[in-house]
C-alpha cells in the first residue's frame, strides 16, 4: 500500500495507467529502469501483457522505449490534477461561470435568508421580528455583523413580557427562541371604598365574602345593579360604619337565550374536483408570477396558499421562495330539510353562537330547547343555557359625611 504522500505527489504530477503487450515486456521494463522511467503497481495480465502506472512526465518517453522493445502501449486511464485542468481549459466559459457561481454562493451563504421565532404564544411573531430587526437580524443581513449577545441584551431590556431569549445561527437560518414571562395580574386599588354589585340577573347559589358584608343569600333573586356585598361594615358599640373595599365572589344561576329561525333548506358548498394553480417565484424580495395560458374562471372557490422556501440541507435557506395558490372550485347547493334535520341544523348554529355569547368562565349546567313563534307566525328554535358564574363586580362609592 503506497503512502499517502506518494499518492498526493502523483496526483499533482499526473498519473497514466497503461497496458503493455508483446513478446519482450521484460526488455521494456529494463529499458525504462535504465532511463530512470519509474513504473509501479505492475500487474501481469497474461504471458503477453502487463498493466502498470507511471507519471505524466515519464509517459512522454514511453513511445520511444516501446519502439525499442518492440511492444505496443495502450492507455487505460489518465488521472491527476494536470489532466483535470487540461479538460477544463477547453471550456473557459464554463470554468468562469462555475467560478462566478462559487463566489455568489459563498456570498449568499454569508447572509441571513430565514428568521424563525419559536416559544412565543401571547407575543406576536411579527412584533418580535421587528424588535430583532433593530439589532441587525433580518432577511438579507450579513451574519458576521450579528452580535447575538447584543441582540439578546437589547431584547430583554426592551421587553417586559420575556423571561429568556436565545439567538442561534445555523447556515443561512437564524432562530430566535424566547420564553414568555407570566405577568402579575393587574392589582386594583383596594384603598377606595367599594361595593360589589350584580353584573346581570340571576339566582344566588353561593356567597363568599372576603371583605365587607353580604347583602344577599343563597336562593335570592337579584337583578343587574343590585348590591351583593356591601363595603359598609358596622362597628361595635358605635353607630358609625367602616368603609372598606368589598371583596369576594358571588355565584349565581344565570340563563342565556339564543334562537335561530327554522329553515326549509340548507345551503351547502361542494367541491367539483376542478382546481387551478397560480405560481409565483419570489427572488430577493421580487415577486415574479409565472404565466398561465388560461385564466381562472370559477365563480365560487376555496383557496389554499402554499409557500416553500428553497433549502439546501436543513439550515441553508436561499433567497428563493415558491408560492403556489391553489383554487378549488365549489358549487352551492340547496338541500331540503325535514323537521328533525332542521332542528339539528338550528341547534348547531346556536351552539356556535353560544361560544361568543356565554363567558368563558361560566359553567354550563343544563341546556333546554323549544320551538317559539314571533308575531308573524315565523317558527324559531330557541335554546336556553343554564349556567353558574360569578356575577359580581366592584363599584367605587362616594362617602359623604352622613354615610
What are 105-146's pLDDT values in tens digits?
Answer: 888 888 888 899 999 988 899 999 999 999 999 988 898 899
188 band by pLDDT with thresholds 50, 70 and 90: low
Report d(CA 82, CA 12) in Å as an integer.
Answer: 7
- How far apart (Å, rounded) are the C-alpha atoms in residues 57 and 210? 101
Choose from 182-196, 225-239, 360-374 the range with maximum mean pLDDT: 360-374
pLDDT of residue 127: 92
Long-range Cβ contact pairs of 32-41 (< 8 A, separation 24 or more)? 32/58, 32/65, 35/61, 35/65, 37/61, 37/62, 37/65, 40/2
| pLDDT of res. 90 | 62
**pTM of the model as a whole:** 0.51
**Helical H segments across 243-375, by residue range:** 339-357
Mean pLDDT of 213-231: 94
Residue with cell 421565532: 117
**Per-position DSSP letters for 208-265, written without gaps between them:** EEEESEE---TT-EE-TT-EEEESEEEPTTSS-EEE-B-EEEEEEEEEEEEEEEPPSE
- What is the distance between the terminal CA atoms of the chain, rounded to a whole angstrom? 108
Q: Do 4-85 and 114-180 come out as alike in CATH topology?
A: no
Where helices occur in 50-172 by DSSP H, the ranges are 56-59, 62-69, 81-89, 92-109, 125-133, 148-158
Q: Could you tell me the CATH superfamily of domain 114-180?
A: membrane protein fhac (3.10.20.310)
CATH code of the domain made up of 4-85: 3.30.70.120
- Whether the per-residue pLDDT at 186 is higher than 60: the answer is no
Average pLDDT score over residue span 376-400: 90
233, 213 Cβ separation under 8 angstroms: yes
Alpha-carbon span 74 to 375, nearest angstrom: 108
Is the pLDDT at 236 greater than 90, yes or no? no
Domain ranges of the chain: 4-85, 114-180, 200-264+337-403, 277-331
Closest C-alpha among 402, 357, 360 to residue 383: 357
Decide the pairing of beta strands 173-180 and 114-118. parallel
For residue range 254-312, list pLDDT tens digits in order. 999 999 999 889 888 889 888 988 888 887 767 778 777 677 888 888 888 888 887 77
Q: Read off the pLDDT band of 402 (50, 70, 90).
A: low
Amino acid at each position: 500500500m503506497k503512502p499517502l504522500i506518494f499518492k498526493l505527489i502523483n496526483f499533482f504530477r499526473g498519473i497514466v495507467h497503461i497496458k503493455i503487450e508483446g513478446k519482450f515486456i521484460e526488455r521494456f521494463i529494463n529499458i525504462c529502469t535504465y532511463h530512470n522511467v519509474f513504473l509501479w503497481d505492475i500487474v501481469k495480465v497474461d504471458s503477453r501483457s502487463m498493466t502498470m502506472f507511471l507519471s505524466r512526465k515519464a509517459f512522454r518517453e514511453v513511445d520511444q522505449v516501446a519502439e525499442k522493445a518492440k511492444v505496443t502501449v495502450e492507455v487505460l486511464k489518465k488521472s491527476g490534477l494536470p489532466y483535470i485542468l487540461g479538460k477544463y481549459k477547453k471550456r473557459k466559459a464554463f470554468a468562469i461561470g462555475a467560478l462566478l457561481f462559487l463566489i455568489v454562493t459563498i456570498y449568499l451563504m454569508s447572509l441571513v435568508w430565514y428568521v424563525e421565532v419559536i416559544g412565543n404564544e401571547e407575543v406576536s411573531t411579527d412584533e418580535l421580528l421587528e424588535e430583532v430587526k433593530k439589532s441587525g437580524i433580518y432577511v438579507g443581513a450579513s451574519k458576521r455583523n450579528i452580535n447575538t449577545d447584543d441582540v439578546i441584551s437589547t431584547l430583554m431590556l426592551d421587553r417586559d413580557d420575556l423571561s429568556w431569549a436565545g439567538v442561534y445561527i445555523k447556515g443561512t437560518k437564524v432562530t430566535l427562541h424566547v420564553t414568555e414571562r407570566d405577568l402579575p395580574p393587574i392589582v386594583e386599588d383596594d384603598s377606595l371604598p367599594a361595593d360589589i354589585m350584580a353584573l346581570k340577573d340571576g339566582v344566588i347559589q353561593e356567597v363568599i365574602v372576603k371583605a365587607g358584608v353580604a347583602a344577599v343569600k343563597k336562593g335570592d333573586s337579584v337583578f343587574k345593579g343590585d348590591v351583593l356585598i356591601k363595603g359598609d361594615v358596622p362597628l361595635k358599640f358605635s353607630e358609625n360604619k367602616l368603609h372598606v373595599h368589598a371583596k369576594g365572589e358571588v355565584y349565581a344561576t344565570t340563563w342565556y337565550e339564543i334562537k335561530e329561525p327554522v329553515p326549509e333548506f340548507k345551503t351547502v358548498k361542494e367541491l367539483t374536483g376542478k382546481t387551478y394553480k397560480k405560481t409565483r417565484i419570489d427572488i430577493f424580495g421580487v415577486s415574479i408570477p409565472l404565466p398561465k395560458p388560461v385564466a381562472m374562471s370559477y365563480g365560487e372557490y376555496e383557496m389554499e396558499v402554499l409557500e416553500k422556501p428553497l433549502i439546501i440541507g436543513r439550515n441553508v435557506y436561499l433567497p428563493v421562495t415558491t408560492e403556489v395558490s391553489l383554487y378549488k372550485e365549489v358549487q352551492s347547493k340547496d338541500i331540503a330539510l325535514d323537521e328533525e334535520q332542521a332542528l339539528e341544523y338550528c341547534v348547531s348554529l346556536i351552539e356556535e353562537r353560544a361560544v361568543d355569547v356565554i363567558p368563558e368562565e361560566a359553567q354550563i349546567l343544563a341546556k333546554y330547547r323549544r320551538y317559539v313563534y314571533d308575531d308573524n307566525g315565523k317558527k324559531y328554535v330557541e335554546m336556553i343555557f343554564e349556567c353558574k358564574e360569578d356575577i359580581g363586580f366592584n363599584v367605587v362609592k362616594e362617602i359623604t359625611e352622613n354615610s
